[in-house]
Chain A
Amino acid sequence: MADPEFFGNIKNEIKNDHVNAEKALQDVADQFIKIFENMTDNHYMQERAGDIRDVCKRVMAHLLGVKLPNPALINEKVVIVAHDLTPSDTAQLDRKYVKGFITDIGGRTSHSAIMSRTLEIPAVVGSNSATTEIKDGQEIVLDGIAGEALVDPSETEVSEYLKKADDFAKQKAEWKRLKTAASVTADGQKVIIGANIGTPKDVKGANDNGAEAVGLFRSEFLYMDSSELPTEDEQFEAYKQAVEGMNGKQVVVRTMDIGGDKELSYLPLPKEMNPFLGFRAIRISLKRQDIFRTQLRALLRASHYGKLAIMFPMIATVKEFKAAKAIYEEERAKLIKAGVSVADDIEVGMMMEIPAAAMIADKLAKYSDFFSIGTNDLIQYSMAADRGNERVSYLYQPYNPSLLRLIKKVIDSSHAEGKWTGMCGEMAGDQVAVPLLLGLGLDEFSMSATSILKTRSLMKKLDTAQMKQLAAKAVTDCETTEEVVELVKKVVKY
């Protein structure tokens, strides 16, 4: 606002054209917004138009004497009702006051839903019409478990829900007791339950919830939260912090998964018709080896400080895996020659998220130390259904026999080569999927930290032999998702 060009133009317009401050502000802001929006060759500059719009909106609110809602300024207990919540909105939510939120758009994998689980704030997303139906000041009962919101509830309803909330809190307290326990089935078989994390800061949440590993450390934050490519040292510090924080428990870091819906302002990529089927993840890493090698060196150096594993995202072919692994071996050899300490037990594996890769899992298992099944992408690619498209969301069917067959093939192939398979999608913590996955022989379940204790508690009730039979039946006999769900609910005593 102290900017002489911006402020000067506004003053001039008021003086020369005799308009009021609101109009002058709008005119000048519009001019700048247009200039920045027209910089079509520079995506970063184009986005600055949004910043000007944001600032202009705030100043305008002051000029007009109206109040803009600001999530950071909330100081009473509220339920937020919004069209959508952006990452920056959710980052500002104060858990002391924000008791829940309801959005018009979004689904179970949308940003707002993931944040709700991470922050442990009850939420209903994708309500379609919350903002038009609910008015400011109305009393709301929000049931994040059922995904329902009650406007202006009766007294009986309120007391019913208070009891529900109380029961849930008790259940959570029981889960807390499982924090330090190992994950074992009813018949004593051990599995690993890990956490998915996005930044080294999330390690605390993983430990607080009793994670036995980090099954997925998304390295994208290093690239997304920066205005230029992160340096080797910056990355090294982040990886080191994560492996040290996990104290000897394995941390699986996924190499850069940019592209698809994740763009970088400083790494402009041509617009694509089908970004999810386009130039992303390992496909970029193999072309832009400068970026890839920097990341691998940082990872190798960090391996000295704990138990680190590396996996490549979006591998479709044996050739791709071999190429990525060869680059890894080159960087490893160079570092060792330079006298840098590198762990000698780093496992190098791959994400299983492309059906073509799953079909040749037996071949890939010869080269990959482990597989990690990324269910969101595996489902979207298998069903040919965009996971962000509400109209085809009915095809998001994790329990469909087709998916279970793919998963079985992947797990069996890894075991045949003496390797292991993990799963790091939302499905790994899903209460219907867990019995099936255990029956299919999954070794590691990695999920949002807040789902770990619930899953560990469920695991204690499951008998491996019985789940094997259940999974076999689902894979060979069932025709539809509904049949699978019915079968699981009949066998498993939750």
Chain B
Amino acid sequence: MEKKNFHIIAETGIHARPATLLVQAASKYNSDITLTFNDKSVNLKSIMGVMSLGVGQNADVTITADGEDETDALAAISDAMKKEGLAE
């Protein structure tokens, strides 16, 4: 199992467009991937799950990947985060 923390810097938080991109990135992998914020965890392959967390600016979130391609999955998600200006 791989785990990584992110600090969200984007002014609007994880809103629809970046959420879609994160979900798209996560869905390419077989591992179970979750997003945790405020002690609540959701499936990162679910756009409604991700958006329902309401992650705003300055939130600290954790992403966990569990499965055979967990390392690649987490790397791809980190990339997407940076590219979208969500986290550094």
Q: Contact flags (1/0) for B17-51 with A, using CB distance below 8 Å?
A: 10000000000000000000000001101111101
Q: Is the interface of B mostly helix, strand, loop or mixed?
A: mixed
Set of chain A residues within 8 Å of B13, measured between Cβ atoms = 42
Could you tell me the dominant secondary structure of chain A's interface residues?
helix
Asked if A480 is an interface residue, CB under 8 A from chain B, the answer is no
Q: Known contacts being A5-B42, A8-B43, is A45 close to B49, with CB within 8 Å?
A: no
Minimum Cβ distance to chain B for residue A228 (Å) = 8
A392 to chain B, nearest CB (A): 38
Given the interface contacts A32-B52, A35-B52, A36-B52, does A45 sit within 8 Å of B15 by beta carbon?
yes
Residues of A within 8 A of B (CB-CB), count? 18
Q: In chain A, residues 225-280, which have Cβ atoms closer than 8 Å to a Cβ of chain B?
A: 227-228, 266
Does any Cβ of A come within 8 Å of B1's Cβ? no
B56 CB-CB contact with A under 8 Å:
yes
| B67 interfacial contact with A, CB 8 Å | no
- Chain A residues with CB under 8 Å of B54's CB are 35, 39, 42, 45
Partner of A6, one of B12, B16, B17, B46: B46
Minimum distance in angstroms from A230 CB to a CB of chain B: 15
Q: Which A34-91 residues sit within 8 Å CB-CB of chain B?
A: 35-36, 39, 41-42, 44-45, 48, 52
The smallest beta-carbon distance between A101 and chain B, in angstroms, is 31
Note all chain B residues with C-beta closer than 8 A to A52: 48
Q: Is A3's CB within 8 Å of the partner chain B?
A: yes
| Closest beta carbon of chain B to A487's beta carbon, Å | 56
Contacts of B48 in A (CB 8 A): 3, 5-6, 32, 52
Contact B49–A48 (Cβ < 8 Å): no
Residues of B within 8 Å of A4, CB to CB, are 43, 45-46, 49
Are A48 and B51 in contact (CB-based, < 8 A)? yes
Residue numbers in B under 8 Å from A36 (CB-CB):
51-52
Closest 5 CB pairs of A and B: A5-B46, A5-B49, A35-B52, A39-B54, A4-B46
A sample of 11 more A-B contacts (CB under 8 A), given A32-B48, A48-B16, is A3-B46, A3-B48, A5-B48, A6-B48, A35-B52, A35-B54, A39-B54, A42-B54, A45-B15, A45-B51, A227-B16
Interface residues of B (CB under 8 A from A): 12-13, 15-17, 42-43, 45-49, 51-52, 54, 56
